Structure 1
């Protein structure tokens, strides 16, 4: 029997409700999925979804006929009970294809919700506009005529629809009241036709008017009339509208006698300047003007939310899971769309269509959208221009996202931690300047390092914490001259006028006031003000510098105080900082050290590519004494350290000890990585910009990228643990490795052996009788079956291996730190199928940045092997630890028990652990084996109590 015959034979016996996928067939027949797909198509046999479709449709129709009316959730539940492995969105798709005359589907009952809540920015950039619109709708007796203004594509029509639904909700219009929408621009070139469509006409009023015609105004009676692009309404049309707004009366075109009565709530919209595009007499009759901000003016968090909603919408349309790389969201957020939200959504549709096209025929469950897909859009949209915005700030709001059909993902914004007010800035600069002057470095090096220090300090001027957060300029009058405070207030007002209140960092004005107070003291005491970066400031911040010159003019007219040019440069820096409402947290400092001028060249390339002001480059002349370089590094380290440590990237082994030297002498955390290249520096800088990154994480990731050492798999055993070190003779490197490990892991038994020893393998077997060998570390792999081997690298070993840390119980605490995350424990869920629930739980982990997208597939693969069902109605699905970034735990209490392998479950726990250490897994899952505790947990109806009880139990285990 050939392969085709085997396929046909197997398909004849398959479960028609859940047919075999190509992947399953490939596994049964010991071949590849691609082979099965090709042969199936040659046999003209559909895929699993197509084969199931007719049975599913008949089952749905049968349920609908027997249970009218019925909702989607009821149908899904009944299908699951009958044996279909189905999700809600598939049921909705089938229902959409069934004649509406044959079924009556009732909507899910929901509580009353504010109609404006569907708008992104409802409580943010649109809050004032929403308040205005509600006032307009509720104003007696017929509301206030309203004009919505804003650029094309900002969402004026959707906003008007929300006003209409709000009016219905508040019962100021009837439930069936009409909402008539008309775009005046559609007929702007034919004013007569436009007016007849809007107001109606009498037979014979103009050529072509063959009968009396009702206009849109009459159709909107007792409801809402929304006229978009109202500036295209001719003067005569505006005048007719006067009468409607003033008296509720009008005449159709051609009528001369009696007037018609109409009661409407009027909303208009325009993209043009109101003053120049509408008649003054008409403007006077529109008391409520509501602006809608452009996409460019929206906060980053709102832009990202709009992007995510658009992808979710396309996900629902395609009925497929969509995975979007963070780089895609980043680029979309930073682009300025001339068509605003409308163009953004259009671009996302094109991106999704392109990705969907590439997916056709591959039978992959997830549509992947990456960097190459966004590049295609850039090439076809010429106004798809990158804005000069803070990329690092944007990255605070984005990450890889997995979108599931008809499941709305949570908002994953990160919160910024405030910084405390710094000490006197001048004194710090002077101290650093004198410290650097003592070192053997040229002026350009000194300038570069001091510039880094200054930029870092200005980046630290973020919203302060605690009691200082609400401090005002007026409250500084007991420590700062009143005239200086008035001057700073004047500057603040000018910046507010230009940039808006919400975009300014208010605390910067406090710092500037104190700074200027110190400046006056220094000038009067004839103390010098040094700003060696003045040229850079003029070049990088020309607008800010010009404004600082203006501030200096205010000083001169105030008390005839002449501010030196160096001080004007510092004021420019404060002005620039004030314009940044959100700034980067302290980051790991990166220093590139090399012989010759390699460091400078690499750093120049990195700065240009990434548009950053760091890392620092230190060149080491070939004939220079290493002691001079070490002295220079010791001198600059306190200056460039921002509190998160320093990563030294060096070119040769002679510089390998600089990190340890800095830590020992200055108590500053430091790591050193040798054999540096351009890609390593780029990766280090990129990772240093991530808000949550720290020195150890960056260093470990760079090491892993370079060496790809294997994860260690250690079984639970009562035997003591041991490590074997090997080299050619067993006397040289093996001895050194042993010494290092003994210092790093005291108490662990270590044996050193030589590859040339004829008794090597027998000796290892003897060791295995008494010890559990964790790993063999050395220069040559002895290839012992069942024993892990790690290639010896001095800096890798000196810093400690992450896997060894966990196995030897030194890193367990850190791995469990993520298990208390507030957004990863869900009390209840209405989901009704195993697959849909697993997809939802994994999406929470992916979208919160805990796991990679591959984690979802690993969970699904594990369930195919055997259902992860535990007694007591509990399921514990799990996936591959290699796909986990940070440990987390998702727990869901279901509203209704669902089928899960051999039984039903109503409590599901999904652990995601970085290391599959048996002790850690047992510690996390032990509470779910305690049926008495589970019974108590099920009784909890309050989410906070449920969460507190669970976390307390986990910690006690």
Structure 2
């Protein structure tokens, strides 16, 4: 509604004049867009306060879009005027403003220089010579032209007076030719001089001669020039007896040091030496004004509206090409041209970061983590033109056709799943195969330059995403994955394909839900990649690309993504939150904290929206910590408690020490309850732990006395038995010792309705069903598990019973291991267990024997994978105290060590002891 209003105001402001002013009243606008006058008036006045709308307070009060008005008429100094006359009086003053005052930076970084120029220009007689000193491309030629315009406005020269420009560098190796160009020559002065010829000094008589790269003049050329500067007289080459006069104003420009490049006698005749700052030395506002002016110029040349992303603006403002304003101008010209060719059918061409020339690639990569992306809004430069460029190669059309076919299959085959014609498993396998075939075609059978700017930058940013996932979740980088995803996005560009499918709008939400359910990890990692590309490269995040990449990643056998406690720093200011998060992540050597930088005028609605967006796109089942900078705690907790599915710990008045303290607790593996209890016990801070309200999701916990390894094994077997992807509850492996110690205070009981605990030892939690692993293996408790599930869900009981019996057998458990030969390892473990009974003269219960089988098989695989068990602080005391038992158990497992070529650690031996001798 608000956007419709503002868009309408933009449109009509393009045709504003004094005669149709009444069309711009709140009442007239309200009638046109079918809103109440009070609502329209409220929005318009809010826009005035925000600086986006001009208000003229005569009767009736009228409103104009400030951006459009400034582009068509002039830039206004304020947002409110008493009358139209006052508004247009300001315009007349601006129109009559001298050309030097219109130079970008005239009131800031160039203020002193403009004063120097005016002093030199207005000096009596013929003014003073001016030397402009600055980096190549810093705008010296443009400033010289502005000086010429200023001279005309001040009636110092005639409006038709000449402005002649010469770049002396072109004649550096031929000083005689340069001298003849400047001073002219007489007939016979040199071979080929068959007649008298005027020089540029004479051509510029009554106007201005601008000599760029003047340091290229020889000493002789400098001497002849300063003679003219002294007397206004000169002699043509070939006859020193001739004295010519000219009233020519001189402007010089150089990129070199004055002292080292010119004769002292020449320097003494330069009373006005003006240093021009390079692009990097300009103020941020001046840089933005320069960039704006270049894009506006391209808009006029291309006769198109140009929309420029904030990433491009940010990159240009942070670039440092040897202080070269001209270089920035050329980059903008190239980027607009590339976008013009690429978006052949669009009325508005969009310039994005991948449209920048390939030479910018290094700078883009170096600045991938810059923290100022959110300072600038996308900018649009309007210039309408009906002609469209239309090019497309046959090869590219074939590629697009193949990509479209695969994308359409996502929908067509999913419709068959909905009808029951194919199973979800078949659909997933079919789509993964289609995706891989297309990627093979793109990578191996299509010719393209992988060094091109777009492909190279895509690859770099995807690699950056993978690095983040590796550091945060242990997800390994893979060159094939990077190449595959980059190839897809390179060939597809940003085209929306599925929007052309008639069923996309109805299928889309169901298909996304299907992917989130059946391919949770792949979907999450795909979101990470696309979110990063969207942020860094203004690449559109399309749901259809999320679907494609999810199927691709799912086919690469990715590991489960471990859900950890997420933490966000939210602070007002351009980089306050980012700075704190970066410092903490570097010191703690892990990506523990995300940052959200907020403008000072950010509303609580904006903050809530950003948090909900983060929750929707991250795995946060173990909780979320929000570190906020000022007074948002109570409002946030009230707003979020009905919308969250995990506990959120909100802490006010964030600081770097506080962030580091929380990071330290996260590294220790503390859960969100423990962090809430321990955080800065001796310092008074405001904090609040908010749990989800409403109906809790049901869950089964798995645990093992010896650690998480077997708990995860039990979880995976349950998932297979219950076809977990299609069940409405969670199966969560959890730390046995925490369950036994903290009981119902542990996190899962706050988040979930826990139906049962399945494990190797009972943590004895009141009101929660416990089923022992050994009882599932021998079949005793399968009926109990089915009864629990029957009460809560509908399923095929006979099929589930068969699956449980089949999967919860010793052999099936061991077969879930990926490295070991199950028959061989079971035989070795059985032999080791028999040795334990014989050598220690004990009889193990069935429960302990089953547990020892499972634990020992997992232990061998764990050692082969080089995975460590949890630290044991008292291991030295234990080894000393139980020396005989340790030696005996090590002897009993010696054959396993030999056959599997492993070394069983003291910590592993201690866990085996715990199983054997626990009560």
TM-score interval, normalised by the smaller of the two chains: 0.3 to 0.5
**Structure of larger gyration radius:** 2
Give the TM-score normalised by structure 1: 0.34
Q: Could you say which structure has the higher helix fraction?
A: 2
Q: Under a length normalisation based on structure 2, what TM-score does the superposition of the two structures give? A: 0.35
